[in-house]
Amino acid sequence: MEHSNDRRAKRNVAVLVLAQAILGAQMPMIFVIGGLAGGMLADNPCLATLPISFIVFGSMTTAPWLSPLMQRNGRRFGFVLGACAGALGGLISAYGLYQASFGLFLAGSYMTGIYMSAQGFFRFAATDTASESFRPKAISYVMAGGLLSAMIGPQLNKLVQDAYAIPFLGSYLAVAAINIGGMLLFIFLDLPKGAKQDQTQHEQPTRSRMALLREPRVLVAIICGMVSYALMNLVMTSTPLAVVGCGFDKNNANDIVSAHVLAMFVPSFFTGHLIAKFGVEKIVATGLAILAGAGVVALSGVTLINFYGALILLGLGWNFGFIGATTMLAGAHSPHERGMVQGLNDMIVFGMVTVASLASGGLMNCSGGTAVEGWTAVNLAMIPFLVLAGGSLIWLARQPRGIK
């Protein structure tokens, strides 16, 4: 029976790897050109990265209703819905570029956020039919699809971003095509209709959100996850603007973002082993230190080597910090509190990511007269948040063992 289930799971994983690689390619594409296109359409350059903010905001506001929808109707339904939203988002964004309408472009970005939320459930779907022993491998294989998307997206962008007289129009039409074609993959998924309800959750009291936030380990995990993800987004969103503003071309920006996304996902194959060996707190602290190192490299110069070095370190720091924080959170609550804790975590984390992506454009374009001054402001803005996260880890370490 277990062998049969794993055969079924391996088929599902193969489909999800392809979906992550093909459909997921749109995200690095959009994150490269979103700020550049926003700067072209917005009357105020401070709002250049607002389209990226709308994508993250769309993802944040979608997850609370998409997850129960998939529980009722199956994951395939949710994934197809996400791809439809992604296709519509690409078409609306393309039409916004054609009409030179920033409002339409933002509406398309929000629809892309719905797709982004659906993609976040790919790794969970990989475990739905897997045996306990195969689950870690299933997640790793789907993560490998993210590596492929990191290579496919930026390189495809190079081919289509200047295909029309209107810059980036070809990119958003390609995004629509990726979603329309890619959703056909979900026909081959063999997943259960919906998750079974855990009857024991009704028999145990669930703490309120405020009570959960008073739990030191929950609070620190959320703070570290929020800082890791928000700072990654803050710097990454500004990178294409900084690269082009410092005299390099859009293809350089594509390659730098591709290297960054690779650095985000490659370590995932061994991050879990490092956490098991050294402890989650040390890995989170290492991630925060690497994020600080990314800022130091970025502030040291604006050559291509600096941009590559800073963005690679940024991806690696995000991986250790965010995955470590997620692991810390998973062990900080009772099983029946999982839904409330994870929902609270996502609301806070992605709420801050939305703020970071919006602030990124303001810092980059409105805090100095040159691209170098804006890039400097973006990286200096990391300091207080790194202090907050590092201080929270020190505070947690000083808590009595029973409280942790």
The pLDDT value given to residue 404: 55
The pLDDT value given to residue 316: 95
Q: Is the CB of residue 257 less than 8 Å from the CB of residue 152? A: no
Q: Is the CB of residue 390 less than 8 Å from the CB of residue 400? A: no
Q: 1-188, which class in CATH? A: mainly alpha
Give every CB contact of residue 288 below 8 A, 6+ residues apart in sequence: 224, 227, 228, 317, 321, 386, 389, 390, 393
d(CA 120, CA 139): 12
Tell me if the pTM is above 0.95.
no
Type of residue at 44: N
Type of residue at 248: F
Identify the burial level of 72 via C-beta atoms within 10 angstroms of its C-beta, where 0-12 means exposed, 13-18 middle and 19 or more buried. Answer: exposed
Residue 358: C-alpha distances to residues 294, 365, 388 (Å) = 20, 11, 20
The pLDDT value given to residue 155: 87
Q: Is the CB of residue 357 less than 8 Å from the CB of residue 381? A: no
The three-class DSSP label of residue 248 is: coil
- Per-residue tokens: 90: 């690409």
The pLDDT value given to residue 183: 95
Neighbours of 372 (CB within 10 A): 14
DSSP designation for 393:
H
Listed in sequence order, the DSSP H helices in 183-279 are 209-213, 216-245, 250-265, 268-278
How many Cα atoms occupy the beta-carbon half-sphere of 232 within 13 Å?
29
The pLDDT value given to residue 401: 63
Identify the burial level of 215 via C-beta atoms within 10 angstroms of its C-beta, where 0-12 means exposed, 13-18 middle and 19 or more buried. Answer: middle
Instruction: Tell me the pLDDT of the chain (404 aa) as tens digits.
Output: 344 458 888 899 899 999 999 999 999 899 889 988 998 999 888 888 889 889 989 988 888 788 778 878 888 999 999 999 999 999 999 999 999 999 999 999 999 999 998 997 887 787 777 776 676 567 667 777 878 888 899 889 989 998 999 999 999 999 999 999 999 999 999 887 754 444 444 455 667 768 778 888 889 999 999 999 999 999 998 999 899 999 998 889 888 988 998 898 888 778 877 887 898 899 999 999 999 999 999 999 999 999 999 999 999 999 899 888 877 886 776 766 665 676 677 778 888 888 888 888 889 888 777 999 999 999 999 999 999 999 999 999 988 765 55
The pLDDT value given to residue 20: 92
- Per-residue tokens: 181: 């074609």
Identify the burial level of 200 via C-beta atoms within 10 angstroms of its C-beta, where 0-12 means exposed, 13-18 middle and 19 or more buried. Answer: exposed
Going by C-alpha positions, the residue among 212, 197, 219, 194 that lies closest to residue 334 is 212
d(CA 51, CA 42): 10
The pLDDT value given to residue 204: 59
The pLDDT value given to residue 191: 84
pLDDT tens track for 330-358 = 677 676 666 567 667 777 888 888 888 88
Identify the burial level of 277 via C-beta atoms within 10 angstroms of its C-beta, where 0-12 means exposed, 13-18 middle and 19 or more buried. Answer: exposed
d(CA 400, CA 404): 7
Handedness of CA 124, 125, 131, 133 (dihedral sign): negative
d(CA 239, CA 219): 30
The angle that helices 338-366 and 371-380 make with each other, rounded to 10 degrees, is 150
Domain boundaries, the chain: 1-188, 211-404
pLDDT tens track for 309-325 = 999 999 999 989 988 88
Going by C-alpha positions, the residue among 328, 356, 352, 363 that lies closest to residue 342 is 328
Q: Is the CB of residue 268 less than 8 Å from the CB of residue 319? A: yes
Handedness of CA 199, 202, 205, 211 (dihedral sign): positive
- Per-residue tokens: 203: 């028999």
Residue with the two structure tokens 């380990």 = 217
Type of residue at 374: G
CATH code, 211-404: 1.20.1250.20
d(CA 295, CA 228): 13
